[in-house]
A and B are shown apart, each in its own frame.
Chain A
């Protein structure tokens, strides 16, 4: 194996050469379990041998392939770490810079005593081996490219591990921040969340860069697992540098009567691909998938989703909204799969594109694959500009066109934000989006 990796063509590995991988392995703490290191080695071998996505790759239809690159990135420790207060009170917080924990705020002693864990993956790999092994990158790769998934696994340095035991509720959100520091740095953030039976928690993840002109690379992933009757709210705010390339792959498993609500805000990066897999694994499972994208000139947001209904009486509801400005491009490719036995499935998928410029381009690929007959599955996709009648109405009330358009755009976002269960979160995120939009 080592021979084949050493002879890997440069075009296939870019900056992530066998030497860089060897240095990465050497930098890991020696206490990590052997199975994990072996998995990383195997992942690197896969990464080095697999081809990059091509134009004819159906999973990458409409994506810009020519701008995907593995060249020009570096793996280095962070020199400095910016402080990014979220404005939202938190139960605990982990801050990573270039894949290393740089600061943390601990859980209350009460929550620790009740068995809640908010820790680094490194620590969890050593102390909660079985839990991590069961859930870490354990979901099937059904979206996107196995090459980037392998790259993430090979170079995943450290990440967050969150565990909430049975019947425990964590009231305040748990924060995880991942920063990319340095002009050419590559990061591989990972967050693993496991909620045991009837547990409740909210996790907010932030992705950001030190400088908006850094040409960075991020290949992130997360695993969300909601056990029987558990309720998880997940918020991901992606705000990488506007020159970064980001590929994020999220997997969610929802067990019996559990509910997962996820909202992803896409703001940053030059080219951001976001893959979201949701498995409705047992009866009564409900997954609500929400996303808001503010796409500016030169940005491409490529969102791929998969809702798999594996069991009867499951529900999923997806709402992805994109606002496009300048020469922005967005791609939404969603698929609802209903397995043959998943009767009484209720699945919905909706993609709404608000075209705010004549140069923007929106592609929608809303798909269905239904193999059970007693289901309610619908999807819809629309692309259009601001409704001129609504605009006129506001103008006729004395509101200037610019403000009227802004109000209507915020109204467009509001439909997604209003779905949030927690009113404080709703308010905080509304503020965040509006600030970004006005900038």
Chain B
């Protein structure tokens, strides 16, 4: 480790003004997110990971001492924990943690209006359509560019209800009494190697608090953008819905396609107090050189409901198993998962349902599509421990294989104790029926159009649960991915 710090260059903190815009990069292809602008970063923790990297991040963020301690302890855990390759893919071994840049930003304070956002960054988000979406249908937006949020705003009417929507740095600094209580409690640092890494170097992400009884009518959105090569994005999100509150959160993400790999490792914690409802929607469309290793978990108290809608289309390797700990009686957890794996991609996704109180119910519906040499994997855990009664789980996994060399795996683990609970799990693997394609072709559709239509039909019942804008986008993405997959 010591020799590595030599190669680590820690540039001294300078002011945000030193920002220049260069010409946009060439080589933009059909993928909307595949572009990058050259940005001069005022804050750069250099390449590689050491205690110095962490001290640097903590100091530019002007964090309280306990946070630095928390980060340093997490680094120790990260270094001590082995890669989970005894069950996970060996592709994880291709991540070189010393070649990653852990912190890049132009400043720590997000702007409240798009006019204030520096042009080079604003350009990116405008091209991705974020300001437009915000005007149309969102209650608040946070736009993260590499390590920090460049823009963060919440509509006045929502703010007046007492809803807090800030980034993690602000959340811990300005509302410690609210967030410290749950921070790192749903997902402990040592939960897995990547949650430990995130705990050491986290930056950005959203901290949300919805007060008692407040129902946020429109979704809050976060958009995560990776712009720099060899970069690692480690946002941290904590959403607390107080008693009877309701909130929908959506996140989107893109990155340009670099020749080297990029790492995204987030930790997302949700807390739904008595009777609260949280819906968390992800549409993941990272470039297919991104390792996307994310830990997501929620705690649902009495009568609360947490629903993860998780859609994975991009990345090289995604490992993500959103979970719900059903802590209070009658709590309900749900995971709706859609994964699309194309050539060179491995979508290792699934769900975790930990029943910890009586009469709790959980539902998992996962659908995956493997195209070309793509590989999709469902991995799930359902746990109903001793002496609970009236707990129910339903799990359905369906896989669609498009080409002869496509691959799919299913690895569920279900533990039930006692005779007062019930679980059922079903999985099926199939291909698009030749009859169906023939019928559509005979009506004048090309084979590719027919295939797209069949695939969209396969996920239609799940896609309908997305907000309209997202389900339209999903349909478009699937059409794109299916291009050239037949014939």
Q: Across the two chains, which residue of chain A brings its CB closest to B405?
A: A340
Digitize B383-423: 1 where CB-to-A-CB distance is under 8 Å, 0 elsewhere. 00011000000000001011111111111111111111111
Q: Quick check: A366 and B410 within 8 Å, CB to CB?
A: yes
A377 to B428, CA, bound (A): 6
Q: Which of B409, B419, B426, B427 contacts A358 (CB 8 A)?
A: B419
Which of chain A's residues have a CB closer than 8 A to the CB of B76?
none
Q: Is B259 an interface residue (CB 8 A)?
A: no
Q: Quick check: B414 and A364 within 8 Å, CB to CB?
A: yes
Q: Which of B409, B410, B411, B421 contacts A384 (CB 8 A)?
A: B421
Can you list 26 contacts pairing A with B, beta carbon distance less than 8 Å?
A: A58-B87, A340-B404, A353-B416, A355-B416, A355-B421, A357-B418, A359-B417, A363-B414, A363-B415, A364-B414, A365-B411, A365-B412, A366-B427, A369-B409, A371-B407, A372-B404, A374-B431, A375-B429, A378-B426, A378-B427, A380-B426, A380-B427, A381-B414, A382-B425, A383-B422, A384-B423
Within 8 A of A (CB), among B420-459: 420-431
Within 8 A of B (CB), among A337-360: 340, 343, 353, 355-360
Q: Quick check: B412 and A373 within 8 Å, CB to CB?
A: no
Digitize B51-90: 1 where CB-to-A-CB distance is under 8 Å, 0 elsewhere. 0000000000000000000000000000000000011000
Q: Quick check: B387 and A358 within 8 Å, CB to CB?
A: yes
Q: Across the two chains, which residue of chain A brings its CB closest to B424?
A: A382
Which of chain B's residues have a CB closer than 8 A to the CB of A164?
none
Q: Across the two chains, which residue of chain A brings its CB closest to B418?
A: A358
Please give the distance in Å from A334's CB to the nearest CB on chain B. 11
Q: Quick check: B416 and A358 within 8 Å, CB to CB?
A: no
Digitize A125-146: 1 where CB-to-B-CB distance is under 8 Å, 0 elsewhere. 0000000000000000000000
Q: Quick check: A58 and B86 within 8 Å, CB to CB?
A: yes
Once A364-B425, A368-B429, A384-B423 are accepted as A-B contacts, the answer to whether A374 and B404 lie under 8 Å apart by CB is yes
Which of chain B's residues have a CB closer than 8 A to the CB of A401?
none
Q: Quick check: B410 and A368 within 8 Å, CB to CB?
A: yes
Mostly, the B contact residues are: strand
Once A380-B426, A381-B425 are accepted as A-B contacts, the answer to whether A56 and B86 lie under 8 Å apart by CB is yes
Q: Across the two chains, which residue of chain A brings its CB closest to B377?
A: A369
A62 to B424, CA, bound (A): 19
A382 to B87, CA, bound (A): 24
A207 to B431, CA, bound (A): 44
Q: Across the two chains, which residue of chain B brings its CB closest to A345?
A: B429
Q: Which of B407, B411, B430 contacts A367 (CB 8 A)?
A: B411
A15 to B74, CA, bound (A): 44
A371 to B412, CA, bound (A): 18
A74 to B417, CA, bound (A): 36
Q: Quick check: B429 and A370 within 8 Å, CB to CB?
A: yes
A196 to B51, CA, bound (A): 67
Once A373-B403, A374-B431 are accepted as A-B contacts, the answer to whether A382 and B422 lie under 8 Å apart by CB is yes
Q: Which residues of B contact A (CB under 8 A)?
A: 86-87, 370, 386-387, 399, 401-431
Which of chain B's residues have a CB closer than 8 A to the CB of A383?
414, 416, 421-423
Once A340-B405, A365-B411, A366-B410 are accepted as A-B contacts, the answer to whether A382 and B423 lie under 8 Å apart by CB is yes
Please give the distance in Å from B239's CB to the nearest CB on chain A. 32
Q: Is A166 an interface residue (CB 8 A)?
A: no
Please give the distance in Å from A121's CB to the nearest CB on chain B. 36
Q: Which of A56, A355, A379 contacts B419 (CB 8 A)?
A: A355
Q: Is A193 an interface residue (CB 8 A)?
A: no
A181 to B406, CA, bound (A): 52
Q: Across the two chains, which residue of chain A brings its CB closest to B408?
A: A370
Which of chain A's residues have a CB closer than 8 A to the CB of B426?
378-380
Digitize A379-417: 1 where CB-to-B-CB distance is under 8 Å, 0 elsewhere. 111111100000000000000000000000000000000
Q: Is A361 an interface residue (CB 8 A)?
A: yes
Q: Is A244 an interface residue (CB 8 A)?
A: no
Q: Is A151 an interface residue (CB 8 A)?
A: no
Q: Quick check: A370 and B407 within 8 Å, CB to CB?
A: yes
Once A363-B413, A369-B409 are accepted as A-B contacts, the answer to whether A378 and B428 lie under 8 Å apart by CB is yes
A358 to B430, CA, bound (A): 38
Closest 5 CB pairs of A and B: A373-B401, A384-B422, A385-B419, A355-B419, A383-B416
Total CB contacts across the A-B interface at under 8 A: 129
Q: Quick check: A360 and B419 within 8 Å, CB to CB?
A: yes
Q: Which residues of A contact B (CB under 8 A)?
A: 56-58, 61-62, 340, 343, 353, 355-385
Q: Across the two chains, which residue of chain B brings its CB closest to A366?
A: B412
Q: Quick check: B418 and A355 within 8 Å, CB to CB?
A: yes
Q: Which of A62, A359, A366 contacts B415 (CB 8 A)?
A: A62
Q: Quick check: B424 and A371 within 8 Å, CB to CB?
A: no
Once A367-B411, A368-B410 are accepted as A-B contacts, the answer to whether A385 and B422 lie under 8 Å apart by CB is yes
A370 to B370, CA, bound (A): 11
Which of chain A's residues have a CB closer than 8 A to the CB of B402?
373
Q: Across the two chains, which residue of chain B brings its CB closest to A356?
A: B419
A148 to B87, CA, bound (A): 21
Q: Which of A57, A62, A375, A379 contacts B410 (CB 8 A)?
A: A379
A361 to B408, CA, bound (A): 29
Once A372-B404, A375-B431, A381-B424 are accepted as A-B contacts, the answer to whether A361 and B412 lie under 8 Å apart by CB is no
For the A-B complex with A340-B404, A366-B410, A383-B421 known, give 16 more contacts whose Cβ atoms are closer than 8 Å.
Answer: A343-B404, A355-B418, A357-B418, A361-B417, A368-B429, A369-B407, A370-B408, A374-B404, A375-B401, A375-B431, A376-B430, A379-B425, A381-B423, A383-B422, A385-B420, A385-B422
Q: Across the two chains, which residue of chain A brings its CB closest to B82?
A: A56
A181 to B107, CA, bound (A): 78
Q: Across the two chains, which residue of chain A brings its CB closest to B398?
A: A378
Listed residue (B410, B416, B420, B425) with the most chain A CB atoms within 10 angstroms of its CB: B416
Q: Quick check: B399 and A370 within 8 Å, CB to CB?
A: yes
Q: Across the two chains, which residue of chain B brings its CB closest to A57?
A: B86
Q: Across the two chains, which residue of chain B brings its CB closest to A364?
A: B414
A168 to B410, CA, bound (A): 41
Which of chain B's residues have a CB closer than 8 A to the CB of A57?
86
A123 to B472, CA, bound (A): 72
Q: Quick check: B412 and A380 within 8 Å, CB to CB?
A: no
A381 to B424, CA, bound (A): 6
Q: Quick check: B416 and A380 within 8 Å, CB to CB?
A: no
Please give the distance in Å from B202's CB to the nearest CB on chain A. 27
Which of chain B's residues have a CB closer than 8 A to the CB of A369?
407-409
Q: Quick check: B408 and A368 within 8 Å, CB to CB?
A: yes
Q: Quick check: B420 and A358 within 8 Å, CB to CB?
A: yes
A258 to B428, CA, bound (A): 26
Please give the distance in Å from A423's CB to the nearest CB on chain B. 32
Which of chain B's residues have a CB closer than 8 A to the CB of A357?
418-419
Which of chain B's residues have a CB closer than 8 A to the CB of A343?
404
